Structure 1
């Protein structure tokens, strides 16, 4: 997994007005919590965080006014339309401890011939992993699968030191037969008109 170094500053102003001021300074509000410590409210550099979050479950070496903390993102709020960061929760972790996280699922391979579709029952896979060795994701092959086939959590090969945090019988991906499109009302009307029209032989 990737890790980055980011510098943060403690904040003591809250509310929408304070958040707008931070955005003008190209910063975002965040809260740090974990291990029974009092939550710490900080301001983070927006660009650095946007780049860091390109890696799922990125490990962040955070410098909060000289105090070092090891954290991972736990909750990320984005603006609905433009997608910029609005707020973040950061969880303090320690080397060697296990944490529950969701990791991305990447699908590869070609389905069996036919009009079939891959449905992601789970968009990400809940796992338990060491805080400093969280997998960036898992790859699942759908090669040759046909309609009605499924991939369960137990079928996914996990990296060493990582275990499922979901029932092993849960369906992760299933293959569905594509549904034929229902004819529109206009198409049905045209079809009925053709059926009802007399043939040339009858007309004569």
Structure 2
């Protein structure tokens, strides 16, 4: 189900206008898609931040006149320090249509020790119903042993979803970490060489 948000249309733009919006605990956004003119909106801050925890959240944007639009989060801009949302790009969707979205990969379980699971592809691109976008793709690595590999074409997808990512893309591999020996400290090596030379000189 889409997250319903009460929004307003705005006609003031620029950095100053955006700062004023954020001071009121609201978020500036732009909605575009299907060949329509971009619609500049102001969204409620707290409710939008909660919805945006899902990077592919489906939103129902309700305007004061009762008109509403279905939209997917396309891009989230955040402040580099506070990580608060500063702007949203939204894409207009329609019921029944399919959209391409990047879905995060999440591992479930732990491989057989001492092996670890390495995620090679953090996301998979899927074509899915706009109203049925999954939050994540779960991959079970419980008790998997070294050498286990899972490619995109072998991932079990949600019903109705189609894989857009190349089927030969490696998603997860289970392997034993290789511990590299640290190079010998030069000063220690020189000291040992010097000690060795002194011993040789004494023996002579």
- TM superposition score normalised by structure 1: 0.86
**Structure 1 counterpart of 2:113:** 113
Q: CA deviation at 1:191?
A: 6.9
| Whole-angstrom distance in 2 between the partners of 1:56 and 1:81 | 20
**Structure 2 counterpart of 1:122:** 121
Could you report, residue by residue, the CA deviation over 1:121-169 in whole angstroms, capped at 9, with x for unpaired residues?
2112111110011112121012333444321111211111111111111
**Structure 2 counterpart of 1:179:** 178
**Structure 2 counterpart of 1:140:** 139
**Structure 1 counterpart of 2:78:** 78
| Whole-angstrom distance in 1 between the partners of 2:181 and 2:110 | 27
Q: List, as ranges, runs of 4+ consecutive aligned residues in structure 1 with deviation greater than 6 Å.
A: none
> How do 1:13-162 residues align onto structure 2 when only pairs under 5 Å count?
13-66=12-65, 67-114=67-114, 116-162=115-161
| Whole-angstrom distance in 2 between the partners of 1:113 and 1:61 | 46
- TM superposition score normalised by structure 2: 0.86
Give the superposed CA RMSD. 2.4
| Whole-angstrom distance in 2 between the partners of 1:107 and 1:31 | 34
| Whole-angstrom distance in 1 between the partners of 2:187 and 2:174 | 34
Equivalent residues, number: 199
| Greater displacement, 142-151 / 59-68 | 142-151
Q: CA deviation at 1:24?
A: 0.6
Unaligned runs of 5+ in 1: none
